[in-house]
C-alpha cells in the first residue's frame, strides 16, 4: 500500500459544503504517482508509458473540509499489459470514497499496448490489495 | 438526450498534450445540470435534492485541445430513488469518453433517500438511452 | 471585444455557495483562446508562441451558480513583445470580476521573447479596450 | 512565514509540459489555510469570516512536474479590515511564482467589512514579510 495525506483545499469544496465528487478523480490520480514511477522512475513526460482505460469512483460518505484525508493506493489486478489500481479515501476513520483505475502500459509513438515485464510485476505485487 | 458543446480550455490539457482524464468528471457533472433541474428547477443550493453514489468513466480515444467536444447526456436506468445518467463525449465524429453516474434523490437534512415521483420519472424518461 | 458565455458548473462553486475565486483564472484563460489564435491560428501546442508573465484578478461582487456569465476580453496594452489582456465577468448586469493578464510572445526553444509584428498589432488593435 | 510542501499532480500540468498558470491560484489559496485559522480557528464554513478582494500572480520561471514545490506564505500589509497575503512558490532553489492576495474580514450576513482586532493583528504580525 502507498499512503498519501491530503489537506483539502477550500477550492475543493462545493456549494454543499463538502468536497466535490470530481476532486477525488484528481486526488486519486495524484496518489498514483508512485505507480507511475514503476514504469518511468524519472516521471519522464516525453516518453510517458501509461494510458488510462477507465476509472470508477464509489462515494460512501461525505468528505469534509478542515480535516486531513488519507489516500490508500493498492494494486488489485495485474494482466498482460493492463492492471488495476484500487484506492480509498479515509477521513476521521471512515472510508468515504473508493475507486479503481484501469491503466495500460502504452507506447504512444507506436500507439499500442506494451506487456508488463516480470520486474514490473514484482514491484506491483509488493502493493497488492488483499480484500 | 441533452446536448452541450464544450470548447476545451488550455488548462484542461496535461503534459501529454491531450485533455486530462480527470477533466471528464468535471465536464460530465457540468452537463448533468439539466438533470438537476428535474429535481430542483431553480437549482436551489440550499435544498439540494441529489447525491452521487458512483461515477464510471471509460476512455476510448484521446480528446484534443483546439476542437469542440459534444457531450451527450441520457438517462439509462430509473430505480426507486436512484437513477443512472449515461454520458458520452464526442470529438471529430469519434466517441472519446463515455460514462455512467449513479445519482440518488436525497434529503440531506433527514439524511435519507427519497423516492422518485411519477412526474420525475416521466421527465427522466424523455431522455432515455436506447443502446 | 471577444465575448464568451459560460454556464457555471456545480464544481465551480465552493462552500460559500458562490463561484470560487480561483475559477476565474481558469475561465479567463479559456476566454483568451481567440487571443492565442492571433499568434498560432491552429493552436499548435508543439510550437506554442506565448508565455504568461502575470495575472491580476479583482473581485467586485459574488458570482453565483445557476445563471450565465459573460466574459468580455479586450487588449489594453501592446508593447514590444508583451501585451495586456483585460477581461471582465458579468452576471445579471453586474461586473463581478475583472482582471489583466500580461502575455509575452515567446520562443520556448530559444528561451527568449519575440517582437510583436505589425500584422499581429493590427489584429490585437481591433479588440482594444477603451475605458 | 508559513510553509507548505506540494508534490505537483499530473493533472496540474498542461500541454506545455509544465504546471499550468491557473494552478498557482489554487495552490496559494490552499496555503492560506493557516491565515484563515486566525479568523476562524475551526474553519467554520457556516460563518466564514473572509472575502477575497484581489489576487495578483507573477510568473518568474516555469514550474515542473516531478519535484516538490515549497509554498511560503507571509503577511505583507495589515489595514483596518483588509490585509495582504504575500506568497512565493519555490522549486529547485528557484522562486518560480510570487503573488499577493488582498483579503477582507467580512460579515456575509450583514454584507459589510469587519475591523481586524488587536489580537488578530498580533497573530498576523508573527508572519510579517520582510523584503
Average pLDDT over residues C87-91: 98
Residue in C73, C2, C83, C6 with CA at minimum distance from that of residue C39: C83
Place of cell 476512455: B59
Instruction: Give the Cα separation of D63 and D96 in Å (integer).
Output: 6
Per-residue pLDDT reduced to its tens digit, B58-105: 999 999 999 999 999 999 999 999 999 999 999 999 999 999 999 999
Q: Which residues of A touch D42 (CB under 8 A)?
A: 66
Task: Average the pLDDT over B34-52 and give the result.
Answer: 97
* pLDDT above 90 for A92: yes
Contact C30 B13 (CB under 8 A): no
The confidence score (pLDDT) of residue B131 equals 77
Q: How large is the average pLDDT for residues B38-56? A: 97
B119–chain C nearest CA distance, Å: 23
3-state secondary structure chain A: CEEEEECCCHHHECCCCEECCCHHHHHHHHHCHHHHHHHCCCCCHHHCCEEEEEEEEEECCCCECCCCEEEEEEEEEECCCEEEEEEEEEECCEEEEEEEEEEEEEECCCCEECCCCHHHHHHHHCCECCC
CB A10 within 8 A of CB C15: yes
Residue carrying C-alpha cell 420525475:
B120
Which of C11, C17, C18 lies closest to A20 in CB terms?
C11
Supply C10's cell numbers: 456545480
Q: Would the pLDDT of C131 be above 90?
A: no
Q: Which residue of D has its CA nearest to C30?
A: D22
Cross-chain Cβ contact C57/D53 below 8 Å: no
For A93-127, how does the pLDDT look when each residue is reduced to its tens digit (9 = 90+)? 999 999 999 999 999 999 999 999 999 999 999 99
Question: What SS3 state is found at D20?
Answer: coil
Cβ pair B18, C36 in contact under 8 A = no
The per-residue pLDDT for A131 is 77
Asked if B11 and C17 come within 8 Å (Cβ–Cβ), the reply is: no
Q: Which residues of chain D have a CB within 8 Å of the CB of C45? A: 15-16
Looking at beta carbons, which residues of chain B come within 8 Å of D18? 15
| Proportion of chain A above pLDDT 90, given as a percent | 98
Residue B70: count other Cβ atoms within 10 Å of its Cβ: 15
Residue A44's pLDDT is what? 96
What Å distances lie between residue B95 and A109, B74, B92, D75, CA to CA? Answer: 21, 15, 9, 49
Instruction: Give the integer Cα–Cα distance in Å for C32 and D76.
Output: 31
ipTM, interface predicted TM-score of the complex: 0.96
pLDDT at position B29 over 90: yes
Write out residues 45-74 of B within 8 Å (CB-CB) of C.
45-46, 65-66
pLDDT of residue B8: 98
Nearest-Cα distance to chain B for D120, in Å, is: 32
As given in the structure block, the three cell numbers for residue A52 are: 488510462
Chain C residues whose CB is inside 8 A of the D57 CB are 25, 54-56
**Residues of chain D falling short of pLDDT 50:** none
Q: Which residues pair with A99 in a beta bridge?
A: A57, A87
Q: Which residue among A22, A29, A53 sits closest to B29, beta carbon to beta carbon?
A: A22
With beta carbons under 8 A apart, name residues in chain D contacting A65: 43, 45
Amino acid at each position: 500500500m502507498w499512503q498519501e495525506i491530503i489537506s483539502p483545499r477550500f477550492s475543493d469544496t462545493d456549494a454543499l459544503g463538502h468536497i466535490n465528487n470530481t476532486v477525488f478523480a484528481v486526488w486519486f490520480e495524484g496518489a498514483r504517482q508512485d505507480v507511475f514511477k514503476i514504469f518511468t522512475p524519472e516521471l519522464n513526460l516525453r516518453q510517458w508509458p501509461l494510458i488510462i482505460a477507465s476509472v470508477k469512483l464509489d462515494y460512501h460518505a461525505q468528505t469534509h473540509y478542515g480535516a486531513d484525508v488519507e489516500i490508500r493506493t493498492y494494486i488489485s489486478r495485474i494482466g498482460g499489459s493492463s492492471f488495476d489500481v484500487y484506492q480509498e479515501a479515509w477521513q476521521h476513520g471512515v472510508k468515504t470514497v473508493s475507486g479503481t483505475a484501469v491503466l495500460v502500459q502504452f507506447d504512444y509513438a507506436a500507439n499500442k499496448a506494451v506487456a508488463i515485464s516480470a520486474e514490473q510485476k514484482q514491484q506491483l505485487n509488493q502493493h497488492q490489495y488483499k480484500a
